[in-house]
Structure 1
Amino acid sequence: MSKVVLITGASSGIGKAIAVYLQNKNYTVYGTSRNPEKVIKSPFSLVALDVTKPETIQAAINTIIDKEKKIDILINNAGKGITGAIEDTPTQEIKTNFETNFFGAIEVIKGVLPQMRKQNSGLIINITSIASYMGLPFRGIYSASKSALAIVSETLSMEVKEFGIKVTTIAPGDFATNIAAGRYHTPVFETSAYKQKYAENLALMDAHVNSGMNPVKMAEKVYQIINTKKPRIHYKVGGFTEKFSIVLKRILPDKWYEKLLMNHYKL
Structure 2
Amino acid sequence: MSKVVLITGGSSGIGKSVGEFLVTKGFKVYGTSRNPENYPNSKFPIVALDVTKLETISTCIDQILKKESKIDVLLNNAGAGITGPIEEIPDVEIKRNFETNFFGPINVIKAVLPTMRQQNSGLIINVTSIAGYMGLPYRGIYSASKGALEIITEAFRMELKGFNINMTNVAPGDFATNIAAGRYHAPVLENSPYKASYGQTLNTMDEHVDSGSDPRQMAEAIYKIIESKNPRIHYKVGAFMQKFSIVLKRILPDIVYEKLLMNHYKL
SS of 2:175's equivalent?
Answer: coil
- C-alpha separation between the residues in 2 aligned to 1:192 and 1:113? 46
Query: Could you tell me how far apart the structure 2 residues matched to 1:153 and 1:115 are?
Result: 19
Pairwise CA distance, 1:141: 0.3
CA distance in 2, matches of 1:111, 1:53: 12
**Partner Cα distance (1:167, 1:40) in 2:** 31
The corresponding residue for 1:182 is: 182
Aligned twin of 1:130? 130
Give the distance between the partners of 1:43 and 1:262, measured in 2 at CA.
43
Identity %: 68
SS in 2 for 1:170: strand
Shift of 1:40: 2.9
Letter aligned with residue 108 of structure 2: V
Quote the Cα distance in structure 2 between the aligned partners of 1:239 and 1:42.
28
Residue deviations 1:81-137 (CA, integer Å, cap 9, x gap): 000011111111000000000000001000000000000000000000000000000
Q: Secondary structure at the match of 1:40?
A: coil
SS in 1 for 2:145: helix
Query: Within 5 A, what are the aligned runs for 1:32-181?
Result: 32-181=32-181
Q: TM-score, normalised by structure 2?
A: 0.99
Give the alignment's TM-score, normalised by structure 1. Answer: 0.99
Q: Tell me, which stretches of 5 or more residues in structure 2 are unaligned?
A: none
Separation (CA, whole Å) in 1 of partners of 2:161 and 2:226: 16
How many residue pairs match? The answer is 267
| Counterpart for residue 5 of structure 1 | 5
How far apart, CA to CA, are the structure 2 residues paired with 1:56 and 1:264?
41
Partner SS state of residue 47, structure 2: strand
1:258 aligns with 2:247: no
Moved over 2 A (4+): none
Q: Could you tell me how far apart the structure 1 residues matched to 2:224 and 2:218 are?
A: 10
Structure 1 residue 69: Cα displacement: 0.6
State how far apart, in whole Å, the 2-side matches of 1:189 and 1:40 are. 40
Q: The residue matched to 1:193 in structure 2 has which SS?
A: coil
Task: List gaps (5 residues or longer) in structure 1.
Answer: none
User: Counterpart of 1:80 in 2: which secondary structure?
Assistant: coil
Task: Find the counterpart in structure 2 of residue 223 from structure 1.
Answer: 223
- Amino acid in structure 2 at the alignment position of 1:95: K
Instruction: State yes or no: 1:24 paired with 2:24.
Output: yes
Alpha-carbon separation, structure 1, partners of 2:81 and 2:215: 17
- Alpha-carbon offset, residue 190 of structure 1: 1.3
